[in-house]
Structure 1
Amino acid sequence: MSEHEPTAADENKLIAERRAKLAALREAGNPFPNDFRRTAEAGWLQSEYGDCSKEELEEKNTEYAVAGRLIRNRGAFLLIQDGSGQVQLYINRKGLDADTLEAIKHWDLGDIVAARGPIHKSGKGDLYINMAEARLLTKALRPLPDKYHGLADQELRYRQRYVDLIVNADSRRVFQRRSQIVTFIRDYMNRRGFMEVETPMMQPIPGGAAAKPFVTHHNALDLDMYLRIAPELYLKRLTVGGFERVYEINRNFRNEGLSTRHNPEFTMLEYYWAYADYRDAMDLTEDLMRSLAATVLGSTTVPYQGTDYDFGKPFARMTVVEAILAHNPGVTAEQLGDEAAARALATELGIPLKDGWGLGKVQLEIFEHTAEEKLDQPTFITAYPTEVSPLARRNDADPFVTDRFEFFVAGRELANG
């Protein structure tokens, strides 16, 4: 623990002090006023006036009302943050009355405050509201972590996401970007004639995937129910009923492992399309991903963990067997086409196998252990063995494999169809 990091005792003392301030506010009147109305957000002010000179703003002297969370105290300047960005407040000791100046002394980092006054620019080029009016809207009882230098503890970030959002701009951008992605996907599918639907989250039989479900009980029916592991079966029933293009942006629940790659509760897009095959689905998925990157990011080059992923050029397409051969020099198609030879190869590669597995499952194990994580740039893998694809259509020319695909980026499966 660094000398600057507050102990639990220090934090409890700060909380007690803030509770005392809140008690004083209650005695003085309404501690949570809701009659303040802002006229501008910080982000808009920055975009509208960020390029203006100090002299231009002084001449305009345009007044705005702002509100946000107090995140930094710079003496005469206070920095607040709202949902769009940040802007400074200037404590004008000549323009504010004595009661307001005294009240400001009791503001703490984390408080929700409001101010009204003209927008100006400091000598350093920072925009600020020259406060003619200032009010406390909500007293924060808990201090912001580490004097607003950030929330570094990863577990704490996950458990107290609201604190993470307050202090980490990157986390806020992830939430905003996710909203933009979902909006784009919905618009994209609607424009292509797909109808958005909602299917049951509680199901009498968990189907559509091989996963362990969460179990609940329906008291009125005295019936065990399962949170859905996939919407597949209900979406297929809709196509049977005559809806030829349907999709759902849905929550799924799988009572399994927890990691940075797997969450028991997650959202996915699932769609069904009559009179189309897996090649059409790959074309749509590729165009969706490319259009999504171009619209949301403004570029088809997607940076992720130090690597640039190119969604602009045509995605690679190869079969399971082709992927194994591409990433295992020396392995032949003849080895992969014979069960005994494929088993011998797997043993040589250190891949454990079970006696009951057929050639298709052995091929998949070799693929997953030696090729999958190497599929870095956007890649479709097709021709999965029928043995490991129970819900997929067999290929007309080669019934050993199915008409399905999985889509990979950075060695991770992002889609399948």
Structure 2
Amino acid sequence: MSPASSELSEQEQRRREERDALERRGIDPYPYAWDVDAHADEILDTFDDDLHQPEDGEVGGYKVSVAGRITGLRVMGGSAFFDLRDETGTIQVYVRSQDLGDDFYDEVFTELFDIGDIVGVEGFVFRTGMGEVTVRAADEFQLLAKALRPLPVVKETEEETYYEVTDKEFRYRQRYVDLAVNEDVRGVFRQRSKLISTMRGFLDEQGCLEVETPVLQPVYGGASAAPFETHHNALDMPLYLRIADELYLKRLLVGGFEGVYEIGKDFRNEGLSRFHNPEFTMMECYVAYKDYRWMMDLTEDLLRTAATALHDTPTVAFEGHEIDFGGGWTRIPFFEAIEEATGFDLYRAGADRVYDVAANELGLEEVEADMGLGGLLDEIFSETVEPTLVQPTFVTDYPIELSPLAKKHREKEGLVERFELVVAGREVANAFSELNDPQDQRERFERQARQRAAEVDDDVDPEDLIDEDYLRALEYGMPPAAGLGVGIDRLTMILTGQESIRDVILFPLLRPEQ
């Protein structure tokens, strides 16, 4: 539905009148296609004065056909310059009335074209007297899309760039505008894409197979989180958006694949923050016949490769720190890390003792006596240890209460073979020696299901929360294996220097627009 005229700004109303005027002249403001054979960066990189500079009055030999958005316009009588921005950058375009025809130049271009319009230009490349490489619209010049809303004005000085719109919520909500005016933002998402392609290439070289598993699941599992619920009408059954890929990927190990990975969306029906979006991207990888110690080495290699691909060095700047992904990362057990940070040895301590330390000795405000041992330990770790870990650090050997899918530690009672990778105070990766004993897994699922049912609704049957098909798969035999999950969004934040997860997700979830 078009906005009412009374709701339009003066510029918006004028642009609509310009569109109507174009149509009256027989000019389609939205034609079908344009043949592009060059981009701004290519032209600027390859232009050669000796080969392509025309003599006075001659048409140059470096012919191009380009298209993009007008981002700056300078009219000077019978000629004009404008900045044309395409996906790769910005190049100057020169137009003259004698090339376009006086009627088109005077009555169409200067009167009915605006900053923000998308145009196609065919002509030759030359260098102006001011030394700027420029495309002269000598052959063809066409409007490709009339912009009915003005873009935010960008003003640049040697020190700063000023935006008419600086509100981040506007930028997140209208990301298309943010991308159109902010080349740095486009660069962040190019780096995100390169990160994912680098990880994919690395895992392919390891012999892992990229797969796809269900997003809609009859039983959600693989993590402790609240799911999004939906309903399938034809089957008349509830379904859940997955909270993790894990259980389906491990079914594939049962089926005989020895290395599988998936890069895809997961969904958790929880709060929003600088580090959390309900829809997020994970890479999960499972490799048969390996353990979590092997997976630590793989993780170092993977992230070193990714950081170097983006920056030509494994060291990146983030929040005032130089983060070194070069390898040789610190490895520290969970309880040892807590003792170093707090002075309290809580290994083998009961829930009452841990609650006393958390609430009374450490004064943590978010703890409750009924959180359970795992929840209390997690809160202590999150508040006292995690924020202090700036350089990549593997925190290992977690309490079993926090890890229902990890194999019991081969040497230490009450612990599991698990690590989390923490970088700049944030969990970036999580990995296990995977639990493949079906009886042990059933007992842990049952405990977890009882806890979930109590937290969600006393009327929920814990049996409905147990993935019986996964347990059946384990009973056919799953080889020993190592599993890894990497949060793509958080890793992208660190590798691109962004302060919020919303800065690395193209269209983050926001409250309804008022």
In structure 1, the residue corresponding to 2:194 is in which secondary structure? helix
| CA offset digits 1:130-168 (Å, max 9, x no partner) | 221321111000001135653311000011000000011
1:1-16 superposed matches below 5 A: 12-16=9-13
Counterpart amino acid of residue 218 in structure 1: H
SS at match of 2:96: coil
Match of 2:81 in 1: 77
Query: Per the alignment, do residues 359 and 156 of structure 1 end up closer, same or farther by CA in structure 2, a change over 3 Å counting?
Result: closer
Which of the residues 125, 128, 132 maps onto 2:134?
128
Q: 2:95 aligns to what?
A: 91
Residue aligning to 2:32: 34
Which residue of 140, 144, 162 corresponds with 2:151? Answer: 144
SS across alignment from 1:364: helix
Residues 58-99 of structure 1 deviation map (CA, whole Å, 9 limit, x = unaligned): 466412111100111133210011111110111223433113
C-alpha distance in 2 between matches for 1:205 and 1:359: 26
1-structure distance, mates of 2:88, 2:281 = 26
Counterpart mapping for 1:310-321 below 5 A: 310-321=324-335
Give the AA of the match of 1:138. Answer: A
* Conservation of the 8 A alpha-carbon contact between 1:194 and 1:245: yes
In the superposition, relative to structure 1, how do residues 319 and 164 fare at CA in structure 2: closer, same or farther (>3 Å)? same
Bigger mean CA offset, 351-360 vs 377-386: 351-360
Deviations 1:180-216 (Å, cap 9, x if unpaired)?
1111111111111101111111111111111111111
Q: What is the CA distance between 1:16 and its match in structure 2?
A: 1.3
* 8 Å Cα contact 2:301/2:327 also seen in 1: no
* 1:248 CA drift (Å): 0.4
**Which runs of structure 2 are paired with 1:163-242 in the superposition (5 Å)?**
163-242=177-256
Aligned to 1:261: 275
Other-structure match for 2:16: 19
| Larger CA deviation: 203-212 vs 297-306 | 297-306
Query: Aligned partners of 1:303, 1:180: CA distance in 2, in Å?
Result: 18
- Distance 1:234-1:376 versus aligned 2 partners, 3 A rule: same
Moved over 6 A (4+): none
Letter in 1 for 2:69: R
Partner of 1:273: 287
Unaligned residue ranges in structure 1 (runs of 5+): 1-7
2:380 alignment partner, one of 360, 366, 373: 366
SS of the residue aligned with 1:66?
strand
Secondary structure of the residue aligned to 1:173 is: helix
Deviation for aligned residue 1:337: 4.8
Query: Structure 2: which amino acid aligns with 1:57?
Result: Q
Measure, in 2, the Cα distance between the counterparts of 1:332 and 1:226.
41
**SS of equivalent to 2:257:** coil
How far apart, CA to CA, are the structure 2 residues paired with 1:20 and 1:357? Answer: 64
Q: CA separation in 1, counterparts of 2:166 and 2:361? A: 44
Does structure 1 conserve the Cα–Cα contact (< 8 Å) formed by 2:348 and 2:414? no
Q: CA offset at residue 57 of structure 1?
A: 2.9
Once structures 1 and 2 are overlaid, which stretch shifts more, 394-403 or 318-327? 318-327
Instruction: Return the offset for 1:53.
Output: 4.8
Match of 1:3 in 2: none
Distance 2:328 2:314 in 1: 11
Query: Are 1:218 and 1:224, in contact at CA under 8 Å, matched by a contact in 2?
Result: yes
Query: Following the alignment from structure 2 to structure 1, what is the Cα–Cα distance between the partners of residues 355 and 216?
Result: 41
TM-score using structure 2 length: 0.74
CA 1:123/1:316 → structure 2, altered by over 3 Å: closer, same or farther?
Answer: farther
The within-5 A match list for 1:382-401 is: 382-401=396-415
SS at match of 2:153: helix
Q: From 300, 303, 319, give the equivalent of 1:286.
A: 300
- The corresponding residue for 2:509 is none
Indicate if the aligned counterparts of 1:204 and 1:224 stay in contact, CA closer than 8 A.
yes
Amino acid at match of 1:73: L
CA pair 89-11 structure 1, distance change in 2 beyond 3 A? farther
What is residue 45 of structure 1 aligned with on the other side? 43
- Residue 109 of structure 1: CA displacement? 0.9
- TM-score, reference length from structure 1: 0.91
Which amino acid in the other structure matches residue 273 of structure 1?
Answer: V
| 1:325 shift after superposition | 3.2
In structure 1, C-alpha distance between the alignment counterparts of 2:247 and 2:152, rounded to whole Å: 47
Cα deviation, 1:10-55, whole Å, max 9, x if unaligned, reads 9622111111111222233333223431221111112222xx4599
Whole-Å separation in 2 of the counterparts to 1:67 and 1:410: 42
How far apart are the structure 2 equivalents of 1:164 and 1:387? 44
Contact kept? 1:386, 1:399, Cα under 8 Å? no
Instruction: Determine if contact 1:361/1:385 at 8 Å carries over to the other structure.
Output: no
Q: Deviations over 1:350-375 (max 9, x none)?
A: 02544456655544332221111111
Which of 104, 108, 114 is 2:120 aligned to?
A: 114
Equivalent of 2:364, from 345, 351, 371?
351
Question: Is 1:298 equivalent to 2:304 in the alignment?
Answer: no
CA RMSD of aligned residues (A): 2.2
Q: Residue 57 of structure 1 aligns with which residue? A: 53
* SS at structure 2 position matched to 1:383: strand
| Residue aligning to 1:104 | 109
For 1:227 and 1:342, the matched residues in 2 are separated by 35
Query: Structure 2: which 5+ runs fail to align?
Result: 156-161, 432-514
Secondary structure at 1:351 match in 2: coil
Identity of aligned residues (%): 44
Give the number of aligned pairs.
Answer: 405
Mean Cα deviation higher: 369-378 or 57-66 = 57-66
SS of the residue aligned with 2:135? strand
Judge conservation of contact 1:54–1:121 (CA < 8 Å) in 2: no
Q: Is the 8 A contact 1:379 1:409 kept in 2?
A: yes
Between 63-72 and 356-365, the greater mean CA deviation after superposition: 356-365
